[in-house]
Amino acid sequence: MFRVQNCAMEGFQYDREIEYMTEIIKNILYFAVLEEESPKTLKHTRHVHYFNIDEELIYLNYYFDFGPLDISCLYKYCCKLNSCLQYVHGSKRVVHYTTSNPMRRVNAACLMGCYMIIYLQWNPKDVYRTLLSTGGPFKQFMDASQGFSHYTINILDCLNAVRKALSFNFFDFKDFNHTEYDLYNKLQNGDMNWLIPRKFLAFIGPTDNISINSLPPDYYLKYFLENDVKTVVRLNNQLYDSSVFTNAGIEHHELFFPDGTIPTKQILLRFLELSENARAAIAVHCKAGLGRTGSLIGAYIIKHYRMTAHEAIAWLRICRPGSVIGQQQGWLEKIEPWLWHQGRDYRIRHFGNEQKIPHHNYGIYSKVWPVERAKLDRHIRKRIVETRTNLSKPNRANSPKSNARPRTSSVNRVQQNAENHGQSNRGFSNTSTDGKFLNPSLQPKQLPRLKDRLIRDLTRNSKFVDISQRSDKTSDAKSVLAKQRKRIQSVSRERTVDKKNLPRMEKSFVQNLEQTQGDRLNDIKAKRFVSENKQVKSVPGTLKKPQTNFNWMHSRPQYTP
């Protein structure tokens, strides 16, 4: 570590604004902290290339939370730093500098530390000791609680989480589609994030009501089917019809517990059982997809990947900022030893080795996985076509039974009996002299009974009009189907709310008199979407619009954990 004032070191001049500096790669890469908290731009020199990301990679906060930056920001930072190193090619020193503001400093240091782990294979403890020399201890990362919270994680937790996630191949920056992350991370595109590759996808709770805070459940079907999501777990109350997923072949499970609370042991055990026996990926949601969702997925990570509670929370927040809120962190810390013990027993029972932890073939947001899946789909379709072709090859005309008398199928026989119902059935050998069938199963009277039953069941769900009684104005088939879909969707409204007295939301904010934690977080997401797109005007009386830069956080009272 260098304490820089106005002097030259290592044979080249540093900017006089730099107060602390530490060497990452000898004579090549450095991390520096300026004297002042306000942002400044340092000019390049003949020997030094400066760069800063404080105004480029920004954390979108909910309340007092300010980091860590998400995995897309980490990927962009690594790409930028690699480009800088390749650009100078040893002719200059590369210096990543940040201000002395505690929040900017810890976010910048976290990015540099993760780069050192991913690309330079440093140990997290060595990384932490090196970065600690640039101004002393770092500020603790806070959760997304509305008020002051003493539940925090530190930069070392994030470094350890990235190191373990890298060893399990949770991510691979050589095969990472940051465009997909940025696209689906937005509220208008689904607000969903992969947490464990091809295992857990967290997303905001869908709803049948037209609202700027959420999307209908059928919006997610295409992405789920394309990404092998075969199970959906709902942790909040019923705001949509689950048949939207089940009709598409996706299992749906209810594990409700109140917003902002911790799950019961029965819910935890049931969730772990569902996750361990799931045939493909699992999509989990609560109201905002942050607190309850992150808590249960975090418990799975602690059990099966032997992360600490703080490391699991750090990884969840790197993938989906704001995950695990308030007492849910304390709950994970409390059950951490029990989950480790359960995970050890599980691995011994299934693998015969307690150290055998899953290693994934593809990381989250892999570019290669969709290509390989498409190849597999083409191969399966080709095999199906070949199988059908082989089954249709035998020529029945040359078979020994080709000259036999053609037999009337049972279906045709029943239809013929239905037409001759009430007449003598002399043409059939299985009838008695009075025209009754000897085999009761072939009684023609059962067919109209079945048909009547089907018509009666269909009539309950659809309005059929007698052709002989309706007017010349024929109804359009599409309008009938649309009305039927509306009737089905109306059933999935909140059971405890009178729908006749509830006005339908038209892409605007509606004041909720009984807002829960998830409602407030969703309102912040919606306000953020409005501020970014400038398409919808906010309604007076709702939550204040959260800012997406550090100036907003600096103007608020700061608490030291």
Q: What is the pLDDT of residues 293-345, one digit of tens each?
A: 999 999 999 999 999 999 999 999 999 999 999 999 999 999 999 999 999 99
Give the number of other Cβ atoms within 10 Å of residue 550's Cβ.
21
The confidence score (pLDDT) of residue 313 equals 98
Is pTM, for the whole model, over 0.85?
A: no
Query: Highest mean pLDDT range out of 33-37, 458-462, 495-499?
Result: 33-37
Residue 432 in this model has a pLDDT that exceeds 50: no
The mean pLDDT value for 6-34 works out to 80
Residue 180 in this model has a pLDDT that exceeds 60: yes
Q: Where are the alpha helices (DSSP H) in 306-326?
A: 309-319
The mean pLDDT value for 77-93 works out to 93
Q: Report domain extents, the chain.
A: 13-167, 177-367
Confidence category of residue 506, pLDDT binned at 50, 70, 90: very low
CA separation for the pair 49, 28 (Å, rounded): 10
Specify the CATH architecture of the domain 177-367: Alpha-Beta Complex (3.90)
Pick 255 or 448 by higher pLDDT: 255
Question: Which CATH code for domain 13-167?
Answer: 3.90.190.10
Give the number of other Cβ atoms within 10 Å of residue 136's Cβ.
8
The confidence score (pLDDT) of residue 538 equals 42
The confidence score (pLDDT) of residue 99 equals 96
Residue 81 in this model has a pLDDT that exceeds 90: yes
CA separation for the pair 429, 410 (Å, rounded): 14
CA separation for the pair 439, 433 (Å, rounded): 14
**Among this protein's residues, is 158 annotated catalytic?**
no
Fill in the amino acid letter for 371. Answer: V
Q: What is the full DSSP assignment across 331-389?
A: HHHHHHHHHHHHHHHHHHHHHS-TT-----SS-TT-SHHHHHHHHHHHHHHHHHHHHHH
The mean pLDDT value for 229-251 works out to 96
Q: What is the full DSSP assignment across 466-510?
A: -TTTS-S-PPPHHHHHHHHHHHHHHHTS-TTS-GGGSPPP-SS--
Is there a common fold for 13-167 and 177-367? yes
Nearest one of 106, 97, 99 to 136, comparing CA atoms: 106
CA dihedral 77, 82, 86, 90 (to 10 degrees): 100
Say if strands 18-25 and 152-153 run parallel, antiparallel, or are unpaired: unpaired
Catalytic residue among 73, 110, 158, 286: 286
